[in-house]
Amino acid sequence: MRSVMMECEQSPVGAASSKGFRVRLGAGIICRLALLLVASLAMPGAGVADSTLDALKQTYHRPASIPFPNDNPYTDAKADLGHTLFFDPRLSGAKTMSCASCHNPALGWKDGLGHGVGHDAKPLSRATPTLLNLAWADLLMWDGRKNDLEDQATGPIEAAASMNQPMPELLVELAEMPGYRRLFRDAFGRDDITRLNLAQAIATFERTLVSNRAPFDRWIDGDEAAIGESAKRGFVVFNGKGNCAACHSGWRFTDDGFHDIGLESEDAGRGAEVPDEPLLQHAFKTPTLRNIDQRAPYMHDGSSASLREVVIHYDSGFLQRPSLSPEIHRLGLTETEIADLVAFMHTLTSRDDPISFPVLPTKEQVTWTR
Is the pLDDT confidence value at 7 over 60?
no
pLDDT of amino acid 33: 53
pLDDT tens digit sequence for 214-249: 999 999 999 999 999 999 999 999 999 999 999 999
Element (H or E) spanning 285, and its range?
A: strand 284-285
For residue 113, give the amino acid letter.
L
Give which of 173, 192, 177 is closest to 90, Cα–Cα.
Answer: 173
How far apart CA 75 and CA 209 sit, in angstroms, is 15
pLDDT tens digit sequence for 163-213: 999 999 999 999 999 999 999 999 999 989 999 999 999 999 999 999 999
What is the average per-residue pLDDT within 148-154? Answer: 97
CA distances from 150 to 88, 195, 356 (A): 18, 10, 23
Give which of 75, 87, 82 is closest to 360, Cα–Cα.
Answer: 87
pLDDT of amino acid 239: 95
Q: Which domains does the chain have, with CATH numbers?
A: 2-59+212-346 (1.10.760.10), 76-207 (1.10.760.10)
Is the pLDDT confidence value at 121 over 60?
yes
Is the pLDDT confidence value at 349 over 70?
yes
pLDDT of amino acid 51: 77
pLDDT of amino acid 32: 46
pLDDT of amino acid 367: 55
Nearby residues of 286 by Cβ (< 8 Å), 6 or more positions away: 247, 248, 254, 255, 256, 257, 258, 259
Is the pLDDT confidence value at 27 over 80?
no
Is the pLDDT confidence value at 12 over 50?
no
Phi and psi at 104, nearest 5°, equal -85, 120
pLDDT of amino acid 233: 97
pLDDT tens digit sequence for 294-309: 999 999 999 999 999 9
3 versus 131: the higher-pLDDT residue is 131
pLDDT tens digit sequence for 47-82: 456 778 899 999 999 999 999 999 999 999 999 999
- To the nearest whole number, what is the mean pLDDT of the chain? 89
Is the pLDDT confidence value at 18 over 60?
no
Question: Ramachandran region of residue 282, left (φ > 0), alpha (ψ -120 to 50) or beta?
Answer: left
What is the average per-residue pLDDT within 14-43? Answer: 45
